Amino acid sequence: MQVVILCGGSGTRLWPVSRSLYPKQFVKIFGEHSLFQKTILRNASLASSFSVVINQDQYFMGLDQAEETGVAANRKFILEPTGRNTAPAIALAALAARPDEVLLVVPSDHLIDKQSDYEEAVRKAEELAIKGKLVTFGIKPGYAETGYGYIESNGLEVKSFKEKPDAKTAEEYVRAGNYFWNSGMFCMKAGVFLEELQILAPDIFESCLRAFTNAKSDTALRISLEDMKAIRSESIDYAVMEKSKKVNVIPADIGWSDLGSFDSLYDTLPKDKEGNTVSQNVIHISSKNNLVIGGKRLISTIDVNDLIIVDTADALVIAQKGSTQKVKELVGLVKKHNPEMTEVHTTAHRPWGTYTILEENAGYKVKQITVRPGAKLSYQYHHHRSEHWIVVRGIASITIDDKSFELKANESTYIPKEAKHRLANLQNDELVIIEAQVGEYLGEDDIVRLQDDYKRN
Amino acid sequence: MQVVILCGGSGTRLWPVSRSLYPKQFVKIFGEHSLFQKTILRNASLASSFSVVINQDQYFMGLDQAEETGVAANRKFILEPTGRNTAPAIALAALAARPDEVLLVVPSDHLIDKQSDYEEAVRKAEELAIKGKLVTFGIKPGYAETGYGYIESNGLEVKSFKEKPDAKTAEEYVRAGNYFWNSGMFCMKAGVFLEELQILAPDIFESCLRAFTNAKSDTALRISLEDMKAIRSESIDYAVMEKSKKVNVIPADIGWSDLGSFDSLYDTLPKDKEGNTVSQNVIHISSKNNLVIGGKRLISTIDVNDLIIVDTADALVIAQKGSTQKVKELVGLVKKHNPEMTEVHTTAHRPWGTYTILEENAGYKVKQITVRPGAKLSYQYHHHRSEHWIVVRGIASITIDDKSFELKANESTYIPKEAKHRLANLQNDELVIIEAQVGEYLGEDDIVRLQDDYKRN
């Protein structure tokens, strides 16, 4: 069986923790592993191979996080230049598989608590998939949620798919007992899915086939932007599942949560005896049932209950519990005035490591740059800024115009405007430099890449 | 008339906005001017001279802020090496004045809204002071506050001073109509006060006289630590006012507030029509009656009411309105784990300007240093750290061992461990440098000052 991990989501419901270029599946909210990594680990014993459908901008983050898990299974990345919802993403993964291969399709941003129940449900689904079924997983509803679609079942048969219900209808669904939350997980043979897609949504099938055929394959399968744009955006539910006669549903009680809001995050995080989530660097005085997500800063509460407090380097959100659906509205407002703040953190992830903006003012910008062992930034120059580099940890290998040299901690150098330069870490330990940029224009787009290990030029 | 501004307070009730080395009288919470500056401006038309009794560590901050006001009156600073409460502070100011000079003694951290009512009250007090009275100002109570002492009056006569009452007693006071809040403002001839002090608290009088006689006078009057420590700590109320027969009270309805907590701060700040204080860089969604004090970071609220939200670079406090008396408890807890955080901000004020810690990690620290025009840091060296300086704005005049040179924006230099060095701004514009410190030990106390314009060596 091959696990297909859908990684293209860029939801902003957990903003400011998640940003469109650092979506929630990659955030390490639960300690050691991100939700994406948890997804890999959860399926490690079930699958011989993985394919990851991911936005090309997140490829290196996904690759790094996959490597961090230590799961050595055969791994393939399919890079989308832009998202087209789940039907095309799954079609591309199916085209890259053998037709008789069983695919277990899973989102990368959900949480599943009950591993053995999950494995059991997957094994049942696999049996049905082998028999030619398109299997969906129906989550036993814990309560009358109005934010999900429901699947009405009759045993393994699907009677109907239901849109998000109102509160009264949701209660009826829960009482009836044969309605399940639509989890977005599927199991089926690649060939069976493609045949159904060809019948039920032939335009999507054709445009995906063309995109797949034209794709460049090196370390990953790269779909061209032109081909991707030509594909109609559609969910697998609308395109196939709601129309196909081959659909089965496996009821699953697997401790599932989609972490669609800070409210559901609160429910899943460990809490102390006052009901506050457990966090470092937080002092609660007479405060109960609060979710606090923080970073470096000390956070203290006094006599407050049922609050969602989310603190990042550049944005702080304080919401009443139960109101976190309005984060979406907030993100819309932020986007108007400061779109960059919805896209990236002050710490940005790059294929070679990370940088953090420490200070930004008219005429200068200060960054802390961390380069991972063995990584190289692109060979580049800038039209508008000079740069000062001070090595504060590790050893930097530096090229400036015709000169190559090493700098160790407590040494510095200067890169004038227009000088071609490159920074690399050829050691086995992390390299950290402090960079002060000076110039009239300091935008990230003032960069001319002459060579790049990560094909960004 | 001479105005005596008492500036020695270092309360932490507005932590994390105020810190013990940056007390609330110097914080610019109300926009352009700090409470200390407002105090100067309020009294500018009433007085021909000012004396400021201030902790010596705050001298340069006080001096700078006084100069910023543009009030050109004759100005004298009396520097206390440590605080001994109000009786000694006022005694030192009185000793430095002519005996027949009328002193108007005012705290530096209160707010007064009704300027013309204030001026009228002061003029009445001055008349009584000329006649030899010790005049105190009684604030007409707006409500039954239990946090203040009260003055019981009979016309201008004081019948008694009352300790902080319980709620029931406070209500009786307010109903009675002849009870007033003790505001901590006084008006009297210097000589009359000193005579009364000599009779009622002779030890304080004697030790203050000794301290004054021994004090060094240059740009300011500097009391020695030894002499200051020998003075008994006592308030003017206990030492003199509650015992003297010469006390009068002027009832005053002057829009007075002592800003003793974030709750009272909320009451005095301008608010929008939802009752939220007006702040930059804040997005409120369905939120009402909140106090938000922030800085650079974007702050957003969703469906929250009656919260106190105070955000600084290193500490965030979220409190229920009405509970901000517990900030004191919080500061006690913070002090245990991180005392520095109760003393200074990440931006620290120095006589020569400010520095902000941008990043701090094992082995290195990054600072942004701003040097005011004409200012010089001390001539110094460090045992444990090297420093890299990058000028990003202005022109630096630098000495390193035997070399003196200038650096302009986009130039840098290196100061090895043990090298004697000095940074100065001899220009008319601000100088900004980025400093990266590298070393095993990076504490602020690793500094050997060889010469200092501000007498800190």
For residue range B48-68, what is the model confidence (pLDDT) as tens digits? 899 999 999 899 889 989 999
Rounded mean pLDDT of B9-26? Answer: 88
Chain B residues touching A296 at Cβ < 8 A = 314
| CB pair distance less than 8 Å for B436 and A438 | no
Kindly state whether A280 is in contact with chain B, defined as any CB-CB distance less than 8 angstroms.
Answer: no
- B181-235 tens-digit pLDDT: 999 999 999 999 999 999 999 999 999 999 999 999 988 999 999 999 999 999 9
To the nearest whole Å, the CA of A93 is away from the closest chain B CA by 40
What is the model's pLDDT at position B444?
87
Poorest-confidence range of A31-35, B169-173, B400-404, B407-411? A31-35
Query: In the predicted model, is pLDDT for residue A286 greater than 90?
Result: yes
Average confidence score pLDDT of chain B: 94
What is the model's pLDDT at position A296?
83
Token pair for A187: 């199991």
- A299-358 tens-digit pLDDT: 999 999 999 999 999 999 999 999 988 999 999 999 998 898 999 899 988 889 999 999
Chain A residues touching B432 at Cβ < 8 A = 361, 364
In this prediction the pTM is 0.89
Rounded mean pLDDT of A212-241? Answer: 96
What is the model's pLDDT at position B24?
92
What is the model's pLDDT at position A457?
66
What is the model's pLDDT at position B457?
66
Chain B residues touching A408 at Cβ < 8 A = none
List Cα–Cα distances, A197 to A6, A66, A79, A238, in angstroms: 18, 30, 21, 11
What is the model's pLDDT at position B360?
92
**Using CB atoms within 10 A of its CB, is residue B31 exposed (0-12), middle (13-18) or buried (19+)?**
exposed
Rounded mean pLDDT of A165-171? Answer: 95
Query: In the predicted model, is pLDDT for residue A279 greater than 90?
Result: no
- Best residue of B262, B282, B367, B410 to probe chain A, by most A CBs closer than 10 Å: B410
| CB pair distance less than 8 Å for A434 and B438 | no
Chain A residues touching B324 at Cβ < 8 A = 302
ipTM confidence score: 0.88
| Helix/strand/coil (H/E/C) assignment for every residue in chain B | CEEEEECCCCCCCCCCCCECCECHHHCCCCCCCCHHHHHHHHHCCCCCEEEEEEEHHHHHHHHHHHHHHCCCCEEEEEEECCCCCHHHHHHHHHHCCCCCCEEEEEECCCEECCHHHHHHHHHHHHHHHHCCCEEEEEECCCCCCCCCCEEEEECCEEEEEECCCCHHHHHHHHHHCCEEEEEEEEEEEHHHHHHHHHHHCHHHHHHHHHHHHHCEECCCEECCHHHHHCCCCCCHHHHHHCCCCCEEEEEECCCEECCCCHHHHHHHCCECCCCCECCCCEEEECCECCEEECCCCEEEEECCECEEEEECCCEEEEEECCCHHHHHHHHHHHHHHCHHHHHCCCEEEECCEEEEEEEEECCEEEEEEEECCCCECCEEECCCEEEEEEEEECEEEEEECCEEEEEECCEEEEECCCCCEEEECCCCCCEEEEEEEEECCCCCCCCEEEECCCCCC
Cβ atoms B322, A304 nearer than 8 A:
no
Q: Which residues contact B375 (CB under 8 A, 6 or more apart)?
A: B351, B352, B353, B424, B425, B453
What is the model's pLDDT at position A374?
95
What is the model's pLDDT at position A202?
98
- A107-143 tens-digit pLDDT: 999 999 999 999 999 999 999 999 999 999 999 998 9
Check residues B9 and B46 and name the one with the higher pLDDT.
B46
| CB pair distance less than 8 Å for A311 and B307 | no
Task: In whole angstroms, give the CA distance from residue B149 to residue B142.
Answer: 14
Average confidence score pLDDT of chain A: 94
To the nearest whole Å, the CA of A99 is away from the closest chain B CA by 49
Query: In the predicted model, is pLDDT for residue A9 greater than 90?
Result: no
Q: Which residues make up the CATH 2.60.120.10 domain(s) of chain A?
A: 347-451
Kindly state whether B364 is in contact with chain A, defined as any CB-CB distance less than 8 angstroms.
Answer: yes
Rounded mean pLDDT of A177-184? Answer: 94
Chain B residues touching A358 at Cβ < 8 A = 358-359, 366
Rounded mean pLDDT of A352-375? Answer: 95
Tell me which chain A residue has its CA closest to the CA of residue B305: A320
What is the model's pLDDT at position B72?
75
From the candidate CATH numbers 3.90.550.10, 3.20.20.70, 3.40.50.300, 3.40.50.720, the one assigned to the domain spanning A2-257: 3.90.550.10
CATH class of B347-451: mainly beta
- B159-183 tens-digit pLDDT: 999 999 999 999 999 999 999 999 9
Q: Which residues make up the CATH 3.90.550.10 domain(s) of chain A?
A: 2-257
Which positions 314-353 of B are in contact with A (Cβ < 8 Å)? 314-320, 322-324, 326-327, 329-330, 333-334, 338, 341
What is the model's pLDDT at position A208?
98
Rounded mean pLDDT of B341-361? Answer: 92
- A46-105 tens-digit pLDDT: 998 999 999 998 998 899 899 999 997 789 999 999 999 999 999 999 999 999 999 999
